[in-house]
Chain A
Amino acid sequence: MDANLVAAQLFSGLTSAMTLFLVASGLSLIFGVVNVFNFAHGSFYLLGAYFAYQMVSVTGLPFWPGILLAAVGAGIAGVVMEYVFLRRIYGRGGEAGFQILLTYSFILILDDVVKMIWGTDYKSIERPESLSAPFTLGEISVPRYDLVVILVGILVAAGMWWIIRKTRFGRNLRAISDNRDMASCLGVNVPLTLSLVFGLATALGGLSGALSAPTRTVTPGAGIEVIIGSLIVVVIGGLGNFWGAFVGALIIGEVTAFGILFLPQWAILFSYAVMALVLVFRPEGLLARKGSA
């Protein structure tokens, strides 16, 4: 195994990791603050992809504005889901079960909505011209688009960190995730903040879907596929921990990239194996503070 191969796998692992992180970040955010495991997260990913298709391939908008609008669209859809439906079950006895059912029902509904509007054909978006050419560093040749995705991943992580740590909004988020009632007593507009967080998280999901659309298949059913992958990342890193999702994604990405060199027959089990290891020795996740469960 030579240095080139190592470098190539390191890099492709990083690309995978950043995409995984982008997809999982919204899930982690909602879980950390609102304590809701949004099963429908994958559906917002899907919405983002289809919106992007609609903007870029059908309406003919330029690429980046199309992607951003798609993310915003997914965010709005998320706010609607939270405001009209999810809100009704906050504080109910047995809330967890209802959360699951409600978000799960959205998977089904959105899947059919997407199918009814756009049909079952595979949709395509093209990468922007400027990013089609590869970027060469020595022996390694890497698509520019992937570089951009990595950049976006890092930006999102940094941006979220900044928002959570350095803004008032972020402070409110942390207060709410600690103790919702107390935060309310202290004057935080909890309902508004919750809706905004939800919208932000689903926008992230939509962004990841839109960004992935040029390189993956846009098809109904794609939503359910990403949810388990995101779950694994989030569980490894620590439920509700944003940096945990980042670290979890990195681990999965690189373990897969190198694992397939040695054990190509077992690729499908790598992420499960890592997850099992983490869960056995540190069930709250790698980055969670002890006793945060």
Chain B
Amino acid sequence: MRGPSAAPGNAARGQLLQWIAVFLFFVLVPLGRRSFFITMANEVLIMGLFAMAFNLLYGVTGMLSFGQAAYYGAGGYTVGLLLTKGVLPYSVALPLAPVVGAALALLLGPLCIRLSGVYFTMLTLAFAELVWGVVFKWYGFTGGDNGIQGIPVPEWFHHPLHYYYFTLAVVVAAVAVLRRIVESPFGAVLQSIRENPERTAFLGIRVRRYQLAAMVISGAFSGLAGGLFAGFHRSIGPDMMHWTKSGEVILMSILGGVSSFFGPLVGAGVILFIEDMIGKYTEFWEIWIGGIMLAIVVFFPRGVIGTLYQWTRRKGSRERDGNAAAHP
């Protein structure tokens, strides 16, 4: 499995084109004048950021965490609680969301990293459930199973178009930072850990430290996504932290393609769109979504972007050396 990696030469131009294409797409969505599209696209951006944060752990570092929803929820509740209790304004609470996400990751990360492989995955799931349980039960503080409604973000943000462009700006900035991280030497080490942790350790690298760092960064961006969500929906609940939410981003990433940087974002778009479409037409949506997931796993394991990439490569240029060239 390949992850995003630094692209040499011509591919860099292809990369820039990709960035521009994605950016333009999202900027132009509101022109469709369908207010619902704006809401959808807003949600895609938020979940896309969350999924890309997850993929930093999975696609890049090879750590399959089933507990990212805990950090997403932590960010959401940070904004939700601070605003409803009137402690801080949105402009301060939102930047705090990634901080809280990172802090939680710093707390839980070391506990999970002690084991690897599927054990690690189960640990992340277990701890996330624990966090969920506490939030669910703490009725006096978090609103328990009812959650928090009517989060008072400033009036300006209530307009869907305003909030949409705000989200777009924040997400673009966040993604740019993520991108830098992935392409930096730090990112290279992460990918090396994914490929072969033992050999990486032999190089003298403190693998655990890097894994923890990856978890903290991922937790931060997940928290940011959660904070954005709290401002968007203005209602949050413990289901933000439920394990099924963690499962959603796993699905989105794999659907879009874990080896490509924008894969999870594409995956988020596809899943949210399909969910909406299918939900409209039938009560038996479970078998449809399940069927699609199954088909992806069996027939399109590289996800949307990966498979597209495969097809275009087959059509055109010759294969280079055995190592497939870097994905854009």
Contacts and interface: CB of A to CB of B under 8 A. Distances in A.
Asked if A and B form a direct contact in the complex, defined as CB atoms under 8 angstroms apart, the reply is yes
Interface of A: 31, 35, 37, 85, 88-89, 92-94, 96-98, 100-102, 104-109, 111-113, 115-116, 228, 231-232, 235, 239, 266, 268-269, 272, 275-276, 279-280, 283-284, 293
A31 B243 CA distance: 19
B127 A97 contact: no
Given A93-B1, A279-B127, A108 B286 contact: yes
Q: How many residues of B sit at the interface, in one of the four size bands?
A: 35 or more
B117 A293 contact: yes
Given A88-B298, A102-B297, A105-B291, A97 B123 contact: no
A94 B126 contact: no
Contacts of B301: 89, 92, 98
B125 interface: yes
Nearest to B121: A96
B13 to A, nearest CB: 29
B296 A101 contact: yes
Contacts of A100: 64, 66, 121, 247, 250
Highest count of chain A CB atoms <10 Å: which of B66, B118, B296: B118
B222 to A, nearest CB: 17
Contacts of A107: 290
Interface majority SS (helix, strand, loop, mixed), chain B: helix
B293 A228 contact: no
B123 A112 contact: no
Given A37-B122, A107-B290, A275-B126, A112 B297 contact: no
A139 B72 CA distance: 52
B323 to A, nearest CB: 14
Contacts of B116: 293
Interface in B113-131: 114-119, 121-123, 125-127, 129-130
A89 B136 CA distance: 36
Nearest to A100: B250
8 contacts: A89-B298, A96-B64, A97-B258, A105-B294, A235-B123, A268-B136, A283-B111, A283-B119
Q: Tell which of B115, B127, B290 has the most Cβ of chain A within 10 Å.
A: B290
Contact of A283 (B64, B123, B294, B297): B123
B250 A97 contact: yes
Contact of B130 (A89, A98, A108, A272): A272
Interface of B: 1, 58, 62, 64, 66, 111, 114-119, 121-123, 125-127, 129-130, 133-134, 136-137, 243, 247, 250-251, 254, 258, 284, 286-287, 289-291, 293-294, 296-298, 301
Contacts of A266: 137
Given A93-B1, A100-B247, A231-B122, A276 B293 contact: no
B117 A96 contact: yes
Contacts of B62: 94
A85 B115 contact: no
Contacts of B118: 31, 35, 37, 96, 239
B294 A231 contact: no
B324 to A, nearest CB: 12
A98 B119 CA distance: 16
A207 to B, nearest CB: 24
A94 B258 contact: yes
Nearest to A267: B137
Given A96-B64, A104-B247, A239 B287 contact: no
B290 A231 contact: no
B211 to A, nearest CB: 14
A269 B122 CA distance: 18
Contacts of B134: 269
